[in-house]
Structure 1
Amino acid sequence: MDKYGLIGYPLGHSFSIGYFNEKFQNEGIDAVYENYEIPDISTLPEILDSNPELKGLNVTIPYKEQVIKYLDAISPEANAIGAVNVIRVTHKDRKTILKGFNSDVIGFTKSIEPMLEPCHKKALILGTGGASKAINFGLKSLGLETLFVSRSKKEGAIRYEDVTPQVVKEYNVIVNCTPIGMYPHTDECPNIPYHAMDMHTLLYDLIYNPDETLFLKRGKAHGATIANGLEMLLLQAFSSWEFWNGKEQL
């Protein structure tokens, strides 16, 4: 039986395990998907050694960047983004070969593109982790100018206290790439001036549990268009299967 799985920490919110095991059952695929909740990326080789049936892995927080040093090859897109969330596992002459891809950018751009209006020219990206890099890549590929927002002072980013009402008016696409507001912390949201939002504002939250975060609710109350990360997840899962079983060459 083939095996697939997810590495990250923590994994209590994981969508993938239910999606793929249901897919395998419905389509008669002789495979299983498991969660590998590892407190440190250094245990990845141990997981691979003890699970020789592994054909592919998804990678989530906080390992999308850290995992790259363990890979034998990486797709040009994932290399440009600087983050990997899909790994194809193959075996050749007793050697395990790991190839890295990024499905975040595919899922995100396909889901947000139909929502973009001519007035959407600039975007704020809340957070600076591995997912935010893919979001930045995707937004730029769609022709938007981007600006990162960080809790601490970082090059190429502004801090939350610098997000004024004027900034919200100018950067009227706002994507939350942080875990703020994720279940069970549903009473939290990024600290930005929601009162400056209006019908031209587009809020996109990578979080899908709850399906409407406080970030989305507060924007919606001021007329913003909102979307959560569920469609992006479904598109990512489809892309993962393609990467694991496709003929993409690196």
Structure 2
Amino acid sequence: MKMYGLIGYPLSHSFSKGFFKEKFEKENITGCQYENYPIPGITEFITLLEAHPQLQGLNVTIPYKEVVIPFLDELSDAAARIGAVNCIHFNGGKKTGYNTDVIGFTKSLQPLLRPHHTRALVLGTGGAAKAIMYALEQLGITYTVVSRRPENGAIAYEALDQATMEAHTLMVNTTPLGMYPKVDTFPEIPYQYLSSRHLLYDLVYNPAETAFLQKGAAQGATIKNGHEMLILQAEASWEIWNKA
């Protein structure tokens, strides 16, 4: 039996396990199993690997996308530049880290981009934000990071005025604000300055339309949640785990 899985903590409502269970059934993939491994500390990563030597690959979610890196043997070029890993391939005893978030985000964003989407605001600074920044760089879109603790070039939410909002027509929420069950939360940006020129992308997918997206849609903005990105990054992980 080939084993795959997801590490993170907590893993109360994981997308990945359901996705791969359905994929295995739909595509008649036999001899494979995908499980959740909620480990309360990253130091338990090695214990997990020792207990499950048949593991072929893992996905990585909050809060381990960055702190898992010292436990790996190699990183893909993208993962090294991003500084965050969400996919690990075990091959011949070697643990290699990849970032498929960047693949999922890029493929799902590109069809929505218009010529005026040249500047973005990235809301949040976590591991997911790093993948988004890398993807935007690859797409030639300049960005400004917005954070509750403005440092390293980031600006504060309070600094978002009308001119800044109008100049940055792509907004990407990389924070968990609005995620179930806290569906009433949202990034504190001045939504009144949004227009039909804006594209709002939320990495959150549960609920399908967060308060952030609802407020954008009310101003005429184009909106997109993170569900397709999740599917695309999962498929990219599967390709990595099964490459020669």
Give the TM-score, by structure 2 length.
Answer: 0.97
- The correspondence of residues 50-199 of structure 1 with structure 2, limited to 5 A, is 50-91=51-92, 96-199=93-196
- Residue of structure 2 equivalent to 1:234: 231
**Displacement of 1:25:** 2.3
CA-CA distance at 1:90 after TM superposition: 2.4
Deviation per CA, 1:42-70: give whole Å up to 9, x if none.
Answer: 10000000011110000011111101000
SS in 2 for 1:178: coil
Which 4+ runs in 1 deviate beyond 4 A? none
**SS in structure 2 opposite 1:191?**
coil
Contact 1:13–1:209, Cα closer than 8 Å, also in 2: no
CA contact (8 A) 1:75 1:100 kept: yes
The runs of 5 or more residues in structure 1 that have no matched partner are none
Determine the C-alpha separation between the residues in 2 that align with 1:231 and 1:119.
Answer: 23
Name the structure 2 match of 1:211: 208
The residue type paired with residue 242 of structure 1 is: E
Q: For the structure 1 residues 166 and 13, does the alpha-carbon distance in structure 2 shift closer, same or farther, using more than 3 Å as the test?
A: farther
Q: How far does the alpha carbon of each residue in 1:145-171 deviate from its partner, in whole angstroms, 9 at most, with x for none? A: 011111113112011111122211111
RMSD between superposed Cα atoms in Å: 0.9
Moved more, 66-75 or 163-172: 163-172
The whole-number CA distance in structure 2 between the counterparts of 1:54 and 1:22 is 19
Q: Which amino acid aligns with 1:90?
A: N
In 1, Cα distance between equivalents of 2:73 and 2:123: 31
Residue of structure 2 equivalent to 1:7: 7
Q: How many equivalent pairs are there? A: 243
Identity within the alignment, %:
53
* Mapped contact 1:5–1:33 kept (Cα < 8 A): yes
Correspondent of 2:219 among 213, 219, 222: 222
Partner residue, 1:16: 16
For the 8 Å contact 1:206–1:229, the answer to whether it is kept is: yes
CA distance in 1, matches of 2:29, 2:125: 40
Following TM superposition, by how much is the alpha carbon of 1:207 offset from its aligned partner in structure 2, in angstroms? 0.5
Give deviations 1:120-157, integer Å, cap 9, x for gaps: 11000001011101100111111110111111131120
- 1-structure distance, mates of 2:129, 2:14: 19
> What is the letter of the counterpart of residue 89 of structure 1?
F
In the alignment, the residues of structure 1 paired with residue 192 and residue 151 of structure 2 have an alpha-carbon distance, to the nearest angstrom, of 26
Q: Distance in 2 between the 1:60 and 1:31 partners?
A: 21
2:36 matched residue in structure 1: 35
Matched, 1:47 2:48: yes
d(CA) in 2 for partners of 1:10 and 1:161?
31
Per the alignment, in what secondary structure is the counterpart of residue 43 of structure 2?
A: helix
